[in-house]
Structure 1
Amino acid sequence: MPDYAGAKAAIRSRLETNWTTTRITYQNETPADPWPPVDGSGVLQPWANLEIVGSGSRIVGQGTPGNHVWRYDGIIYVHVFTPVGAGIELGDQYAVAIGEIFRAAKFYDATPGFGVRTLAPSIDDADSGDDDGNWSRTTMHCDFTYWHRG
């Protein structure tokens, strides 16, 4: 049966399936080597980090026990990291492209009464002040709702 953990896994899967341009890292997981990502000459390469943040759930419909409508809200963040000094254009380009993967999307809905729905993505401005000095971060964020009948 679908659940919130499955909805988060579906968000991750959607990104992995549709984004192959850079490496992706995940919350509470050690990135694969080589880390940080470099090309054959040792030059730092862009990468993205997926962060999913829930903001609670609530019942939104009436029904018999086991047939209530629950709404779980959250935000999908994909932080794009580009090497400092490379300019902001590449980070913006990647963040916009990742945002299109989630724009007004409907997925994880094979079972009636369940599903993830996303809204419009937003892109923030690049920031290189909160890291080790090697990376500039541009973030795509997109609100989502996981609908659950139970």
Structure 2
Amino acid sequence: MADYAGAEEAIRQRLAANWQATRITDQNAQPDDPWPPVDGDGVLQPWVNLEIECSGSKIVGQGRPGNHVYRYDGLIIVHVFTPVNTGASQGKQLAVAIGEIFRRQKFYDDVSPGCCVRTEDPYPAEGNAKSDDGNWFGTTMMCPFVYWHRG
């Protein structure tokens, strides 16, 4: 049975299946070692962190119980971290490439009839934040989505 938690997991799986350029970390999950990511010479490598936020839900239209249409509005947020002093363009390029994974897609529609995730147009949001430890420069990609649920 499809539900909002499953929709979030489908977003995670979509990113993991379509992104191999860097390591991916997730909310409330300890990154795998080695951490931070480095190449064979010990040079810091870019990585991304996925966040998924829900901004609300509501019943859309009329229907009998068990056949209501619910709309969950949310935002896919992927923070791209590149080593400081490497310029802003690499982070922006990675953010744009990640956005294309989600641009106007429909998925998670094979679990229950009338349920799916639909994404909208992504945009690179921020690109001027250093991490607290001073090692990373952050650029953020955001993509609005709607999870449609019939139940």
TM-score by length of 2: 0.97
Once residues 61 and 92 of structure 1 are traced to their aligned partners in structure 2, the CA distance between those partners, rounded to angstroms, is 40
Q: Tell me which residue corresponds to 1:9.
A: 9
Residue 120 (1) aligns with residue 121 (2): yes
Deviation at 1:126, TM superposition (A): 1.5
Once residues 143 and 118 of structure 1 are traced to their aligned partners in structure 2, the CA distance between those partners, rounded to angstroms, is 6
Q: Tell me which residue corresponds to 2:43.
A: 43
Once residues 54 and 125 of structure 1 are traced to their aligned partners in structure 2, the CA distance between those partners, rounded to angstroms, is 20
Q: Which amino acid aligns with 2:115?
A: F
Deviation at 1:124, TM superposition (A): 1.9
Q: Which amino acid aligns with 2:80?
A: V
Residue 33 (1) aligns with residue 33 (2): yes
Percent of pairs identical after alignment? 67
1:114-138: per-residue Cα shift (whole Å, max 9, x none)?
Answer: 0000100010231233431000000
1:96-146: per-residue Cα shift (whole Å, max 9, x none)?
Answer: 000000001100011320000010001023123343100000000000000
Q: Which amino acid aligns with 1:100?
A: E
> Residues 84 and 128 of structure 1 are in contact (CA less than 8 Å); yes or no, is this contact kept in structure 2?
no
Deviation at 1:57, TM superposition (A): 0.7
Residue 107 (1) aligns with residue 74 (2): no
Deviation at 1:61, TM superposition (A): 1.8
What secondary structure, in the 3-state scheme, does the structure 1 residue paired with 2:66 have?
A: coil
Q: Which amino acid aligns with 1:140?
A: M
Equivalences for residues 84-95 of structure 1 within 5 A:
84-95=84-95
Structure 2's unaligned 5+ residue stretches are none
What secondary structure, in the 3-state scheme, does the structure 2 residue paired with 1:57 have?
A: strand
Structure 1's unaligned 5+ residue stretches are none
Once residues 134 and 16 of structure 1 are traced to their aligned partners in structure 2, the CA distance between those partners, rounded to angstroms, is 25
Once residues 59 and 11 of structure 2 are traced to their aligned partners in structure 1, the CA distance between those partners, rounded to angstroms, is 22
Once residues 5 and 102 of structure 2 are traced to their aligned partners in structure 1, the CA distance between those partners, rounded to angstroms, is 18
Q: Tell me which residue corresponds to 2:65.
A: 65
Q: Tell me which residue corresponds to 2:134.
A: 133
What secondary structure, in the 3-state scheme, does the structure 1 residue paired with 2:91 have?
A: helix
Once residues 133 and 80 of structure 1 are traced to their aligned partners in structure 2, the CA distance between those partners, rounded to angstroms, is 15
Deviates more, 1:27-36 or 1:128-137: 128-137
Once residues 121 and 137 of structure 1 are traced to their aligned partners in structure 2, the CA distance between those partners, rounded to angstroms, is 17
Q: Tell me which residue corresponds to 1:96.
A: 96
- Report how many residues are paired: 150
